[in-house]
Structure 1
């Protein structure tokens, strides 16, 4: 069963655990407000579990937005299942993600957003950071101005389990994970994304995998990602293995 934890006022981390054989857990996030919003959806095959978890917090059919940081199974596999059951919900993606991917994949026309856009959800105000190639070409992040929560997708992740939220600096383990799996192709693009994240003065880094980072650890994670190059080819390169 999915676990649900409040990580900021009316912002909930819904953790779906790990898929069989997968070393990382997967979470998505719900902003409970006048305009209820999901950030990420989890896999298609975990939709029933995700829907049940959302229903503990509100009526899922009332969802208005489903933010898609990039098109990938763990981030958006269940998107259309949510859209089919929530009749007023719209997918929200980056300009490239909306034009190239979501306009074909989603069952309703998506909303394209860029750095200048903001959604007033009620008590929360959601803005967007377009971050191409971090780690997909259509990538973007979202952040809530009200609570200074950055929904940072695959940035600042951690492997394994752990608590829903931590203020411990485990950046060394994070760097080791990135060096092993290799998901960032370009340091220039990653540094640009880090600049945008830093400019929000984040209080909470709500990552898609592993514990949410908060408190005193936030600046340590930002510093670690700036000072260490985790881009390019790494220990595990699926393109090499595929040849």
Structure 2
């Protein structure tokens, strides 16, 4: 059963176990507001579970925006299923993401956003950092300046996702995980993304894998700057999808 926890004011983490034997989880985030917004949708195969979790907080039919940081199964596999449930919801992605992926994949016309865009959700706002190759071509990271929350997708991943929020320093484990999976192809692109994240002074890192980080944010930024986590690495079988 998906777990639901409020991790910042009116921002809820919905967490699903992805690889049970490895305690590896996937999270996505609901912003409860006048225009309810889901950042990432999770896998298509987990839709029933995640929709039920979402319904603990809002009526899924009232969703207004479905934000896709990059095109990957755990980020947007359930996108079209949510669009079918929510007649007024709009998919949101970077300009490259719309042009090369969502413009064809989504069952409803998507909205392209860039660094000049802002979505007014009511109390919250969403702005966007364009972060190519962190870790895919079309990647972007949304953030909410009203709460200081960066929805950091696959940046700052961590272990043991069962804990909704951590104040602990898990940077060493984070670095070892990145060295294993090898998802950042370019040092220059990663450094550019870290510069953009640091510039908005985040208070909360809403991580797609692992616990949300609510402290030691400078430590995590420094760890990614100081360690070599880029380049091509052999695939980790831990990430193989479970059998259907």
TM > 0.5 fold call: yes
- Whole-Å separation in 2 of the counterparts to 1:119 and 1:177: 33
Instruction: Determine if the alignment matches structure 1 residue 118 to structure 2 residue 105.
Output: no
Map 1:143-162 → 2, pairs under 5 A: 143-162=143-162
Distance (whole Å) between structure 2 residues aligned to residue 47 and residue 20 of structure 1:
17
Aligned to 1:241: none
Cα offset, 1:22, TM superposition? 5.6
TM-score between the two structures when normalised by the length of structure 1: 0.94
Show the 5 A alignment for 1:37-56: 37-56=37-56
Report which stretch shifted further, 40-49 or 18-27. Answer: 18-27
Q: Which runs of no fewer than 5 residues in structure 2 stay unpaired? A: 238-244
Q: Distance in 2 between matches of 1:22 and 1:91?
A: 31
TM-score, normalising length from structure 2?
0.94
How do residues 85-234 of structure 1 correspond to structure 2 at under 5 angstroms? 85-215=85-215, 217-234=216-233
- CA deviation after TM superposition for structure 1 residue 236, in Å: 4.1
Counterpart of 2:11?
11
Instruction: Please list the CA deviations of residues 163-215 of structure 1 after superposition, one character each: whole Å capped at 9, or x if unmatched.
Output: 11001111000000000110000010000000110011000000100100012
User: Structure 1 residues 166 and 20, CA, compared in 2 at 3 Å: closer, same or farther?
Assistant: closer
Give a deviation string over 1:36-82, Cα, whole Å, max 9, x none. 00000000000011111111101110000000001100000000000
What is the RMSD of the two structures over their aligned residues, measured on CA atoms? 1.3
Contact 1:179 1:234 in 2 (8 A): yes
1:16 deviation in Å? 1.0
Asked if the contact 2:160/2:211 (under 8 Å) is kept, the reply is no
Which residue number corresponds to residue 31 of structure 1?
Answer: 31
Is the contact made by 2:17 and 2:23 (CA closer than 8 Å) also made in structure 1? no
Find the aligned partners of 1:61 and 1:237 in 2 and give their Cα distance.
Answer: 37
Indicate conservation of the 8 Å contact 1:179/1:235, yes or no: no
